[in-house]
Amino acid sequence: MAKRHHEGLIYTMVLASAADREMSDRELRTLGEIVRTLPIFLDLDEDEISTIAGACADMLNDDDGLEAVLDFIKDTLPEKLRETAYAIACDIVAADLAASQEELRLLEIMRFALQIDRLIAAGIERGSRARHMVV
């Protein structure tokens, strides 16, 4: 069974992917890679991802969906995982190799909601950009 922090992190990735109203194959592949490789997900059963992602999508479809998802993320993550959440959101956004205005605005909203310091956020964003750079 997924732990609450797993749900919060998966909600973060779904939210980042849905920011431009389109979940690309690259974003979905990146989400899968993150879950398979980050130590925080070692005890997550991958079969639960689609159920959690579906619950997030359902919540996003409500009138106050964005606020509800952001509150859920903040409520389910211990403070020490908020930078991790922001980093994986940046990786999802960077997966398409170009960030839309909607995605950049979402990252700004997320940074504020998770209380990520602006300089720390800039470092996280630059790291994501560097990891996803192509020639």
Q: What is the pLDDT of residues 42-62, one digit of tens each?
A: 999 888 988 999 999 999 999
Which residues, at least 6 apart from 43, have a Cβ–Cβ distance to it below 8 Å?
A: 3
Please name the CATH architecture into which domain 4-131 falls: Orthogonal Bundle (1.10)
In the block, tokens 């922001």 appear at: 86
- Report residues of the chain scoring pLDDT below 50: none
What is residue 28's predicted lDDT score, i.e. its pLDDT?
85
Amino acid found at 77: L
Amino acid found at 118: R
Dihedral Cα 124, 128, 129, 134, nearest 10 deg? 160
What is residue 35's predicted lDDT score, i.e. its pLDDT?
92
φ/ψ (deg, to 5) at 104: -65, -40
% of the chain exceeding 90 in pLDDT: 65
- Mapping DSSP onto H, E and C, the string for 20-82 reads CCCCCHHHHHHHHHHHHHCHHHCCCCHHHHHHHHHHHHHHHCCCCHHHHHHHHHHHHCCHHHH
What is residue 90's predicted lDDT score, i.e. its pLDDT?
95
In the block, tokens 């993150």 appear at: 34
What is residue 1's predicted lDDT score, i.e. its pLDDT?
59
